[in-house]
Amino acid sequence: MAVKKWNWQLKDWPNFSYDKDRLEALEAEYMKTSGVSLGVMKSLPEKERSKLSVELICDEALKTSEIEGEILNRDSVRSSIIHEFGLGNEYKQTGIKPEEQGIAMMMRVLYSEFKTPLTHEMLYNWHEKLMFGRYKVKAGGYRTHMDEMRVVSGRFDKPKIHFVAPPSKDVPKEMDTFIDWFNNTHPRGENALPPLTRAGITHLYFLSIHPFEDGNGRISRALVLKALSQDIQAPVLTAISSSINAARRKYYELLGIQSRGNEITDYLEAFGKTIFESQELTVKKLEFIIQKTRFFDAFRGKMNPRQEKVVLRIFKEGLKGFDGGFSVKNYIAVTKASRATATRDLKDLVDKGAFNKTGQLKSTRYELNLSPFQNFIE
């Protein structure tokens, strides 16, 4: 019985093949949606645009880390991003973990040099930033160890092997070829590719080489952002990692299947849909963040400190809203107010049009009234 080979061991590596016709409609839809989000960002005042950029970059930084099982503190990451991008003075000097600072540093260099051709040195720099403070990992260089580079899960003594990457001695040569391919498939390169196709191949190709000891997943997603940014000639602020994280099991299954062959139509179609969905999610996040800004503009000076604290707490839940709806009990928990004060504050918010009220008695719930601030993105 023949031993199954990994994709990089096959004769057609790395000449990936795929059906362009199956991807054509998806490419067109993506370009339309990405144009909407780019247009919205460009239409905003610089101060508001900066705030939105921070929130979207922070979301991507948090989710790309979460995919790898690393849960970071949002406030710390946000503070680090503001500091790295020079967008304000909201930088707390203490309590920020190295990994929170590191992901912010990597995001800054990623977005500041998206136009620049890819090089080994650029990837080393990203990796060094990402691995900031992680002294057990070789940072700023490709792996050199003699052991097999495996992607595994399960028990330590009985691991399930999902993939084995090329040996370390072959990594420099493989990365030479990868970098040449990436730069040649640039939108204005010798072998230009459509954005979703190029992004999908970038992701799969890089992960198949797995050049670093750690951080390959996060850097592969950063390369996807670089590829998409080069296409529109502007930093792509999109929720790619949020979409991947939402379907993490399917994502890993897809990569596992694709690791055995180089005909990649099914993979590109699935990954392209993930990117398209991430762009749609980004548009929704843009809507939500702008609604938040306009909500506070409308009710500035009309809420007491307790009410402002509650509104901020609800907005913190993001697009999904407050789990189970917001109740008087929740109001008391957030503000430490008495039941009478909580009931009076909530009625006042409803009367002012800031909240909507649903249900009765113990089933009464409150939600933000964002309808006056909708329908501004066409």
Distance CA 372, CA 294 (A): 9
Statement to judge: residues 59 and 192 lie in one domain: yes
Supply the pLDDT for residue 1.
Answer: 44
- Give the total residue count for the chain: 378
Give the CATH number, domain containing residue 46. Answer: 1.10.3290.10
Query: Do both 199 and 230 map to the same domain?
Result: yes
* Between 52 and 231, the higher pLDDT residue: 231
**Domain presence at residue 353:** yes
pLDDT given for residue 3 in this prediction: 65
Based on the fold, state whether residues 320 and 270 are members of the same structural domain. Answer: no
- In this predicted structure, the answer to whether residue 98 has a pLDDT above a threshold of 80 is yes
Residue-level pLDDT at 131: 94
DSSP state string for 149-193: -EEEEE-SSSEEEEEEPPPGGGHHHHHHHHHHHHHHTSTTSTT--
Distance CA 237, CA 210 (A): 25
Instruction: With residue 318 as reference, give the H or E element that holds it.
Output: none
Verify that 267 and 331 share a domain, yes or no. no
pLDDT value of position 312 = 93
Q: What is the mean predicted confidence (pLDDT) over 357-364?
A: 92
Q: Is residue 154 part of a domain?
A: yes
Examine the domain organization and report whether 230 and 307 are in the same domain: no
Which tokens is 235 given? 């930093």
At 269, which helix (H) or strand (E)? helix 265-299
Examine residue 29 and state whether it is found in any structural domain, yes or no.
yes
Report the pLDDT value the prediction gives residue 86, as an integer from 0 to 100: 84
Which CATH number characterizes residue 361's domain? 1.10.10.10
Per-residue pLDDT tens for 268-316?
Answer: 999 999 999 888 888 887 888 888 888 999 999 999 999 999 999 999 8
Instruction: Mark whether 117 and 263 lie in a shared domain.
Output: yes
More confident residue, 355 or 2: 355
Domain boundary among the residues 288, 320, 348 is at 288
Report the SS3 class of residue 62.
Answer: helix
**Band of residue 161 on the pLDDT scale cut at 50, 70, 90:** confident
- Distance between start and end Cα atoms, the chain: 58
Residue 239: strand, helix, or coil: coil
Residue 280 lies inside a defined structural domain of this protein:
yes
Whether 152 is in a domain gets the answer: yes
Specify whether 187 is located in the same domain as 326. Answer: no
Choose among 359, 104, 361, 87: nearest CA to 218.
Answer: 104
Stretch 156-185: mean pLDDT, rounded? 91
Give the DSSP letter string of 106-158: HHHHHHHTTTSPP-HHHHHHHHHHHTTT-TTS--SS----SS--EEEEE-SSS
Q: Containing domain of residue 311, as a range?
A: 302-373
Q: How many domains does the chain have?
A: 2
Q: Is pLDDT larger for residue 167 or for residue 319?
A: 167
363 in the same domain as 325: yes
- SS3 letters for 197-234? HHHHHHHHHHHHHCCCCCCHHHHHHHHHHHHHHHHHCC
348 lies in the same domain as 233: no
For residue 75, tell me if it sits in a domain: yes
- pLDDT for 375 equals 60
Answer yes or no: do 99 and 231 share one domain. Answer: yes
Same domain membership, residue 260 and residue 141: yes
Other CB atoms within 10 A of residue 88 CB: 13
How confident is the prediction for the chain on average, in pLDDT?
Answer: 89
Residue type for position 39? G
Say what the pLDDT of residue 331 is. 96
- Asked whether residue 84 falls in the same domain as residue 228, the answer is yes
